[in-house]
Amino acid sequence: MSTSSARYVSTRGQAPETDFTDALLRGIAPDGGLYMPTAWPTLSPSAWDATADYKSIALQAIAPFIGDTLPAGALDRALDRLTAGFANPAVTPLVELEPGLFVLELFHGPTAAFKDLAMQLVAALTDEALAASGERLTILTATSGDTGAAAVRAFAGAKSVDLVVLHPLDRVSPVQRKQMTTVQADNVLNLAVRGDFDDCQRLVKGLLAEESLRERGRLSSVNSINWARLAGQIPYYVSATAQLGGPATFVVPTGNFGDAFAGIAATKMGLPSNGFVAAVNQNDALARAINDGIYSRRPAVESGSVSMDVQAPSNFERLVYEATGRDGDRTRAVFETFARDGAVTFDPDLLAALRAAVSAVSIDETETRAEIAHAYKTWGRVVCPHTAVALAAARRQDRSNGPVVALSTAHPSKFGAFVSAVLGFEPEPAPVIAALGDQAERMTIIDGTMDAALAAIRAR
């Protein structure tokens, strides 16, 4: 694929093909599907050369997805903004815990979670796109904690953007909540929804189809339903491979499945890997789908790894689309059945293709606590509950055919109460968390209905 011809289709096959900027500023396709590139670009092996730095890797990995629809130099400027916000010069350093077992540290950014890696980039590219077109954008985003914090940080004060963040009331950590609600920028509206993350995401998808909200300009989302978010998460898999000097098995703590799908996308572009393991907590819809062949809805249960309290992972749709051989009709049928009946059983060929792409492990709350204790006792490392889920799953993997990399998605100080209940002391705060302070919090509490969400947005 040449860079000038980057085009996008919907996983549901009924939306017109479009370009990167339009996909970025829509977030979701008009037929309710998710945008996918029409073809996978090929990465040159020089991208994972041991000497490659994060910016050069990201340039090579992301440029083919953008094509020529943004002003010249936009990606270069966006990556400068991204890397400037990272405290560690390697941006995403890889650390060996014991022979063959590594953690990929993704939490050195401005909100101490992996979401910063794509969100800072998406914000910079959005600024470029809006400056070029003169348009205004309302962004609607659902969060179980980390995405919302990263979005608020990235878009607060952006002059052509209004940001609405929906989080489940009392179901994010206090630090995550404060990262969202203590920001005083007038273009940010925090809605605390009585419900769970899946309710917030359902509302966002409904609001994106709400014509009356388009009066102020375009509507989009910066959840990983937006292709640009996924593109921004591809480089760290390439960087990890470069740091290792060869392929790995990646174990990804999984909520909305965007992070794992970004890794799978990297392999579609030619990155060598030994496979992907999605590690979920007791919200195990994805693990049941892969292991039992039935994707079924259950209410999300609260856990210590709150950011993964997701029972309807949006990016599973992208995996199904790929596994059907990019069959939009078949993908649409799967997700319409799921939406209507709350469950769908996969045909054997589809299930085999899903299993070839990813395996899945569910780690419960007891194992998560035990893994936090194990990490401290064995490696002297204080890890967040999401990283603990990944490490517990990673230690079950066979290391005889290559290294295993667990993604460390957030700094433990974002989840101080849970970690200190296990270890008996509070994790040392990341500098960006220590700087949070005690400003007044601003949020509007609403019921999980479209009427309530629309009324709160219109009132603002």
Ligand X SMILES: N[C@@H](CCOP(=O)(O)O)C(=O)O
The closest alpha carbon to 415, from 144, 163, 92, 223, belongs to 144
Give 242 or 386: the residue with its C-beta nearer to ligand X: 386
CB of 125 to ligand X, least distance (A): 16
CB of 411 to ligand X, least distance (A): 13
What is the spatial distance between Cα 233 and Cα 264, in angstroms, rounded to a whole number? 11
CB of 172 to ligand X, least distance (A): 8
Strand partners, 237: none
Secondary structure element (H or E) that encloses residue 191, with its range: strand 188-194
Give 52 or 112: the residue with its C-beta nearer to ligand X: 112
Give 37 or 232: the residue with its C-beta nearer to ligand X: 232
What is the spatial distance between Cα 35 and Cα 321, in angstroms, rounded to a whole number? 11
CB of 113 to ligand X, least distance (A): 7
Catalytic, out of 55, 115, 159, 268: 115
**Coil, strand or helix: which one is 250?**
strand
Q: Which residues bind ligand X (CB under 6 A)?
A: 143-148, 223-224, 255-256, 258, 307, 314
What is the spatial distance between Cα 217 and Cα 136, in angstroms, rounded to a whole number? 5
Give 36 or 101: the residue with its C-beta nearer to ligand X: 36
Half-sphere exposure of 181 (CA within 13 A, CB side): 23
CB of 338 to ligand X, least distance (A): 17
CB of 89 to ligand X, least distance (A): 26
CB of 255 to ligand X, least distance (A): 4
* Pair of tokens at residue 26: 């829509």
Decide: residue 343, CB within 10 A, 0-12 exposed, 13-18 middle, 19+ buried: middle
Q: Scan for tokens 């000497």, then name that residue.
A: 51
DSSP output for 263-330: HHHHHHTT---SEEEEEE-S--HHHHHHHHSEEE--PPPP-SSGGG--SS-TTHHHHHHHHTTS-HHH
Give 141 or 241: the residue with its C-beta nearer to ligand X: 141
Q: Which residues contact 8 (CB under 8 A, 6 or more apart)?
A: 17, 18, 19, 20, 22, 23, 35, 36, 37, 38, 227
The closest alpha carbon to 236, from 375, 371, 116, 384, belongs to 116
Give 258 or 385: the residue with its C-beta nearer to ligand X: 258
What is the spatial distance between Cα 299 and Cα 297, in angstroms, rounded to a whole number? 7
- 115 is a catalytic site residue: yes
Secondary structure element (H or E) that encloses residue 389, with its range: helix 385-394
Q: Which residue stretches of 43-89 are H helix?
A: 54-66, 74-84
What is the spatial distance between Cα 373 and Cα 195, in angstroms, rounded to a whole number? 31
Decide: residue 72, CB within 10 A, 0-12 exposed, 13-18 middle, 19+ buried: exposed
CB of 330 to ligand X, least distance (A): 23
What is the spatial distance between Cα 47 and Cα 32, in angstroms, rounded to a whole number? 34
Supply the residues annotated as catalytic. 115
